[in-house]
Amino acid sequence: MEILKSFINNPGYFILSIIAISGALGVVLEKNIVRAGFSLVICFSAVAGTYFSLNAPFVGASQVLIYAVGITLIIVFALMLTNIKNDMPKLKGEIGKNILSAIISIGIFIVFTKALTGNNKWFEFDGISCPRNTEVIGLKLLGSYVLPFELISVLLLVALIGAVVIAKKDKKNV
């Protein structure tokens, strides 16, 4: 528990958390979809920085590669392939849903804050670390799991090409 409290008292951890929350708010509140996409990259990068500050380099690098680059790039491709001409109409009762969502979000934030900073037995962390965890995972991925790893990459490439073909067909029919 002391190690967890040392991370919480770290100002870099709070700065990265504030950047991540600001990026998430930018994604939700921004009207321009391109700016929302940049806010998404900022949010994912700050979360990756948080993982690096918690001494989890593999998870941080995975966050950068998978989310900050990969998912955001797929979203950009989807936006380029779709033809957005009209703004979304406002739904009835949207203000009430926003207030309810804010209340639920604040409640979850309070529960997480109490769990991380309160005097409880929810988290028991001995501080045991494996300094070679990234090397072990890399050797497993490129050793005994190389075939499934390559098959998944080919499957994702085929899915991306299929999405482009489907999007091009729809534009010709219009």
Residue 2 lies in a domain: yes
* Boundary residue ending a domain (72, 93, 111): 72
- Measured CA to CA, the distance from residue 162 to residue 169 in angstroms comes to 11
23 touches 43 (CB < 8 A): yes
48 touches 60 (CB < 8 A): yes
Nearest Cα neighbor of 46 from 34, 64, 32, 29 is 64
In this prediction the pTM is 0.55
Residue 109 lies in a domain: no
- Measured CA to CA, the distance from residue 12 to residue 10 in angstroms comes to 6
Q: What is the structure's pLDDT at 91?
A: 56
Residue 79 lies in a domain: no
Print the domain residue range for 154: 133-174
Per-residue pLDDT of the chain (174 residues; tens, 9 = 90+): 565 566 566 677 778 888 999 989 988 888 777 788 888 888 988 898 888 877 777 888 888 888 878 777 777 777 777 666 555 555 566 677 778 878 888 888 887 777 667 665 554 555 555 556 777 777 887 888 888 888 888 898 898 888 888 877 655 554
Number of domains in the chain: 2
Taking the CB of residue 65, how many other CB atoms lie within 10 A of it? 11
DSSP labels, 50-116: HHHHTT-HHHHHHIIIIIIIIIHHHHHHHHHHS---SPPPPPTTHHHHHHHHHHHHHHHHHHHHHHH
* Boundary residue ending a domain (20, 37, 72): 72
